[in-house]
């Protein structure tokens, strides 16, 4: 049987053989809650691992010893009580501030008065596992960020990036993150986003913008796409880099360039001002992914800004184009209307046959030229990207009857008959842009009349109510213009709606015109949500057809815009006021009015200011208002008249807009000003 001394020797040999640090402690209760801890023995591994504590082992209590090793938060008394009360070995992972390493500490109670503790260095294993966990978490953050940046609206990107810098900063335990954007015009890198752990702005304290030339001197390879990593600036050899970074109070940094398809856009920089940092490869790789996501976002923002700028330029160009079209329409049609109007008045006077024949040729040529001008203007308007329908509630049946009556009234050929068929009950009110519809029907009827020397041209309107289905409207109206003219060959039918296609050269020469009527009509019908089609047979005739879909409107008290006629009953108002600064136009209007009625005198205003004077002087029964006048234009003069009438609570005098401009914008503006 071995002696007690031999057992102690064997026990010590076992302890000394441990590669983990071992400490044997004697525990003495002071009272019910407090204990004293005295170090009895340590093994060579402990002495080697904590060599600087060798002289203190016998001079301080064990609990103070552990506070030296692991910090003041290490509570030996609490851990001892946990170990005594547990059937299992108590084990914790704890960071040694003194060693700057992680240890696994295990507590083995021998009895209530003796405690054995082992401490195994697990720095490499622990850091590896923690690094894996962190990298997984950080990778998830970067992945989510990349997806979010793709889908975010441009207006939300800047705020999101600020929050993202904060998230990355806390995740990596970084003191500061900065995002710089490169401006090629100024050759400067400008700070766009910044997050700082202390809330203070480094760049605000030191510098605002960074010249590209300076950055190239500090980091020559940066603009070639190389990530710059410096763990500790203080350990750099004397250099320009060290001087500049120390001037900016930077101790450690990672600088990642932002590049999109070879184009340099800026950089993201992570900084520590107070302490060095070891940058691991995985974190840098993920930060480079972040930089690529920012590059894609920068490109997205730039493209959207370019699109916005291009849109504004296009809108401005369209506005200039519309104004030019309106002006040219006015310039071209003003003298043309005067020629036509005076020629018609002269033609209807007492002239001999030869003079009437000459006037008839003038009228036909002038009408053809005016039609060409109108087609060209209409084509420009309809082709505009921003062309929009202005739908209003309209008594469609009445307007169509009035429209066709106008065709019949202006038609002079005895060999050609015009017919109008209305089939089905059209609701009293239909929401439609009648100006556009009228233009289409006018073009189609004029085209049919042009190519039909004798026979008939029929406007056929057929209204059908539908069985209501999801996504379908309640009824449809089919419009057909049918002629018995020369017809169109199958080859030409394929291109009849194309610009300036009127058939073959002989047809163009015989019938004249620019061939824009059908092109404009097809575009307008498409704007109304339908398609213009044709069926034709040479020598038999042609049918153009389109179908519009509508919903019923139950409102029955809406006022329909009927044609304004010169008042005949009100004998208290004997004046018709013509606001017109061009003599030829005034004379033409005056002659037309005097031919229609002799009950009214005609007064003239040469400008908008004179309109206001004569409005107050005569209280006219009717005003013909030229839109383009000096001093005050027709729009403003009309607004002033309506204000006076509204304040006096008097009825509105009819005001008819007079202009050679038939641009839709001009018509809408006239109505908005209060013209009829």
In this predicted model, what pLDDT tens digit does every residue of 443-486 receive, in sequence order?
Answer: 899 889 988 988 999 999 999 887 666 556 678 899 999 999 99
* DSSP state letter for 595: H
Domain identity same for 651 and 606:
yes
Instruction: List the CATH number of the domain containing 108.
Output: 3.30.450.20
pLDDT of 569 above 80 = no
- Where does a domain end: 121, 145, 162? 121
Domain identity same for 394 and 543:
yes
* pLDDT score at 665: 52
Task: Confirm whether 291 is domain-assigned.
Answer: no
Task: Confirm whether 570 is domain-assigned.
Answer: no
Domain identity same for 466 and 513:
yes
Are 69 and 21 contacting, i.e. CB atoms less than 8 angstroms apart? Answer: no
Which H/E stretch holds residue 623? strand 622-626
- Where does a domain end: 88, 121, 154? 121
Are 253 and 230 contacting, i.e. CB atoms less than 8 angstroms apart? Answer: yes
By three-state DSSP, how is residue 583 classified? helix
Write the CA distances from 16 to 84, 129, 342, 447, integer angstroms: 25, 30, 128, 114
* pLDDT score at 457: 93
**Sign of the alpha-carbon dihedral angle for 33, 34, 40, 41:** positive
In this predicted model, what pLDDT tens digit does every residue of 160-219 receive, in sequence order?
Answer: 888 888 888 888 888 889 999 999 889 999 998 899 887 765 544 445 688 898 888 888
* pLDDT score at 345: 81
Write the CA distances from 380 to 327, 448, 516, integer angstroms: 13, 23, 11
pLDDT of 335 above 90 = no
Task: Confirm whether 495 is domain-assigned.
Answer: yes
DSSP assignment of 363-386:
HHHHHHHHHHHHHHHHHHHHHSTT
Integer Cα distance of 42 and 26 in angstroms: 12
Nearest to 497 by CA among 526, 517, 518, 515: 518
pLDDT of 357 above 60 = yes
Strand-pair partners of 189: 182, 210
Domain identity same for 392 and 541:
yes
Write the CA distances from 379 to 277, 328, 335, integer angstroms: 69, 14, 21
Instruction: List the CATH number of the domain containing 581.
Output: 3.40.50.2300
* pLDDT score at 2: 46
* pLDDT score at 57: 67
Are 286 and 139 contacting, i.e. CB atoms less than 8 angstroms apart? Answer: yes
Domain identity same for 410 and 499:
yes
Which H/E stretch holds residue 526? helix 517-527
In this predicted model, what pLDDT tens digit does every residue of 13-28 receive, in sequence order?
Answer: 666 667 788 999 999 9
Distance of CA 141 to the CA centre of its chain: 28
Residue 545 binned pLDDT confidence (cut-offs 50, 70, 90): very high
Task: Confirm whether 166 is domain-assigned.
Answer: no
* pLDDT score at 127: 64
Integer Cα distance of 575 and 502 in angstroms: 48
- The better pLDDT of the pair 12, 531 is held by 531
pLDDT of 129 above 60 = yes
Residue 537 binned pLDDT confidence (cut-offs 50, 70, 90): very high
Nearest to 180 by CA among 36, 308, 291, 301: 291
Which H/E stretch holds residue 659? none
Integer Cα distance of 675 and 438 in angstroms: 20
pLDDT of 304 above 90 = no
Q: What is the mean pLDDT of the chain?
A: 80
Q: Name the percent of the chain in helix, strand, coil, to the closest 5.
A: 45, 25, 30
Integer Cα distance of 508 and 528 in angstroms: 29
- Where does a domain end: 81, 105, 121? 121
Nearest to 370 by CA among 342, 411, 404, 329: 329
Are 608 and 582 contacting, i.e. CB atoms less than 8 angstroms apart? Answer: no
Domain identity same for 608 and 487:
no
DSSP assignment of 48-64:
HHTGGGGGGTTTS-HHH
User: Which residue segment(s) compose the domain that 611 sits in?
Assistant: 575-673
pLDDT of 385 above 70 = no
Q: What is the β-pairing status of strands 392-394 and 430-432?
A: antiparallel
Integer Cα distance of 656 and 668 in angstroms: 13
Domain identity same for 429 and 466:
yes
Task: Confirm whether 656 is domain-assigned.
Answer: yes
Q: Tell me what percent of the residues of the chain surpass a pLDDT of 90.
A: 19
Instruction: List the CATH number of the domain containing 418.
Output: 3.30.565.10
In this predicted model, what pLDDT tens digit does every residue of 618-655 receive, in sequence order?
Answer: 889 999 999 888 888 888 899 999 888 888 888 889 99
Integer Cα distance of 456 and 416 in angstroms: 6
pLDDT of 128 above 80 = no
Domain identity same for 32 and 97:
yes
Domain identity same for 543 and 400:
yes
Domain identity same for 437 and 521:
yes
Question: CB-side exposure of 309: number of CA atoms within 13 Å?
Answer: 6
Integer Cα distance of 593 and 576 in angstroms: 9
Are 359 and 351 contacting, i.e. CB atoms less than 8 angstroms apart? Answer: yes
Task: List the Cα angle 423/426/429 in 5-degree steps.
Answer: 160
pLDDT of 256 above 90 = yes
What is the rounded average pLDDT of the residues 363-367? 77
- The better pLDDT of the pair 226, 141 is held by 226
pLDDT of 659 above 80 = no
Other Cβ atoms within 10 Å of 511 Cβ, number: 15
Domain identity same for 591 and 524:
no
Task: Confirm whether 297 is domain-assigned.
Answer: no
* DSSP state letter for 466: P
Q: Number of structural domains, the chain?
A: 3
pTM of the model: 0.43
Q: Tell me what percent of the residues of the chain surpass a pLDDT of 70.
A: 83
DSSP assignment of 486-524:
S---HHHHTTTTSTT--SSHHHHHHH-S-S-HHHHHHHH
By three-state DSSP, how is residue 670 classified? helix
Task: Confirm whether 18 is domain-assigned.
Answer: yes
Task: Confirm whether 265 is domain-assigned.
Answer: no
* DSSP state letter for 434: H
* pLDDT score at 1: 46
DSSP assignment of 295-332:
HHHHHHHHHHHHHHHHHHHHHHHHHHHHHHHHHHHHHH
Residue 492 binned pLDDT confidence (cut-offs 50, 70, 90): confident
Domain identity same for 611 and 471:
no
* DSSP state letter for 224: G
The least confident of 88-102, 174-188, 219-233, 474-488 is 88-102
Are 480 and 448 contacting, i.e. CB atoms less than 8 angstroms apart? Answer: no
By three-state DSSP, how is residue 86 classified? coil
The least confident of 100-104, 413-417, 565-569, 600-604 is 565-569
Are 245 and 223 contacting, i.e. CB atoms less than 8 angstroms apart? Answer: no
Radius of gyration of the chain (CA): 47
């Amino acid at each position: 049987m071995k002696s007690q001394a031999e057992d102690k020797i064997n026990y010590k040999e076992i302890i000394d053989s441990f590669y983990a640090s071992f400490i044997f402690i004697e525990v003495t209760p002071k009272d019910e809650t407090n204990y004293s801890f005295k170090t009895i023995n340590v093994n060579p591994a402990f002495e080697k691992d904590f060599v600087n504590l060798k002289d203190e082992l016998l001079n301080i209590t064990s609990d103070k010893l552990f506070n030296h090793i692991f910090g003041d938060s290490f509570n030996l008394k609490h851990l001892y009580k946990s170990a005594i009360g547990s059937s299992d070995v108590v084990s914790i992972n704890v960071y040694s501030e003194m060693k700057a390493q992680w240890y696994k500490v295990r507590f083995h109670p021998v009895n209530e008065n003796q405690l054995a503790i082992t401490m195994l260095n697990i720095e490499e294993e622990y850091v590896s596992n923690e690094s894996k966990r962190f990298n997984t978490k950080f990778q998830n953050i970067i992945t989510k960020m990349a997806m979010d940046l793709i889908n975010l609206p441009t207006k939300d990107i800047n705020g999101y990036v600020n929050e993202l810098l904060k998230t990355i900063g806390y995740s990596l335990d970084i003191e500061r993150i900065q995002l710089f954007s490169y401006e090629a015009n100024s050759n400067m890198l400008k700070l766009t986003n910044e997050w700082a752990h202390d809330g203070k702005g480094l760049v605000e304290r030191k510098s605002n913008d960074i010249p590209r030339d300076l950055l190239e001197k500090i980091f020559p390879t940066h603009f070639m796409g190389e990530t710059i990593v410096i763990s500790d600036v203080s350990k750099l050899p004397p250099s320009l880099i060290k001087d500049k970074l120390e001037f900016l109070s930077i101790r450690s940094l990672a600088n990642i360039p932002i590049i999109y398809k070879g184009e340099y856009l800026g950089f993201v920089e992570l900084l520590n001002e107070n302490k060095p940092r070891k940058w691991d490869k995985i974190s840098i790789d993920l930060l480079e992914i972040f930089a690529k996501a920012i590059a894609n976002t920068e490109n997205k923002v730039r493209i959207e800004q370019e699109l916005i700028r291009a849109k504004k330029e296009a809108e401005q160009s369209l506005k200039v184009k519309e104004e030019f079209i309106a002006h040219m329409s006015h310039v071209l049609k003003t003298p043309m209307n005067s020629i036509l109007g005076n020629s018609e008045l002269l033609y209807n006077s007492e002239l001999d046959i030869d003079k009437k024949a000459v006037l008839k040729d003038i009228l036909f040529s002038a009408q053809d030229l005016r039609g060409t001008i109108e087609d060209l203007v209409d084509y420009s308007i309809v082709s505009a990207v921003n062309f929009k329908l202005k739908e209003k509630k309209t008594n469609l049946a009445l307007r169509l009857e009035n429209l066709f009556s106008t065709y019949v009234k202006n038609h002079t050929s005895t060999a050609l008959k015009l017919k109008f068929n209305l089939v089905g009950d059209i609701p009293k009110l239909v929401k439609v842009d009648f100006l556009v519809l009228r233009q289409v029907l006018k073009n189609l009827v004029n085209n049919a009349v042009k190519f039909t020397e004798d026979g008939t041209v029929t406007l056929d309107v057929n209204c059908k109510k539908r069985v209501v289905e999801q996504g379908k409207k309640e009824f449809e109206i089919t419009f057909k213009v049918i002629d018995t003219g020369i017809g169109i060959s199958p080859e030409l039918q394929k291109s009849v709606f194309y610009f300036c296609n009127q058939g073959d050269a002989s047809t163009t020469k015989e019938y004249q015109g620019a061939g824009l009527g059908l092109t404009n009509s097809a575009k307008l019908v498409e704007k109304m949500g339908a398609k213009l089609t044709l069926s034709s047979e040479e020598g038999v005739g042609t049918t153009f057809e389109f179908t519009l879909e509508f919903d019923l409107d139950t409102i029955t008290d809406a006022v329909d815009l009927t044609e304004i006629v010169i008042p005949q009953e009100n004998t208290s108002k004997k004046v018709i006021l013509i606001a017109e600064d061009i003599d030829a136009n005034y004379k033409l209007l005056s002659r037309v009015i005097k031919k229609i009625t002799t009950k009214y005198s005609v007064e003239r205003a040469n400008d908008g200011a004179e309109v206001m004077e004569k409005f107050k002087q005569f209280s006219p029964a009717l005003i013909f208002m030229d839109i383009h006048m000096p001093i005050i234009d027709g729009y403003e003069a009309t607004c002033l008249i309506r204000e006076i009438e509204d304040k006096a609570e008097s009825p509105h005098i009819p005001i008819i807009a007079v202009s050679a401009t038939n641009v839709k914008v001009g018509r809408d503006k006239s109505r908005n000003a209060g013209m009829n």
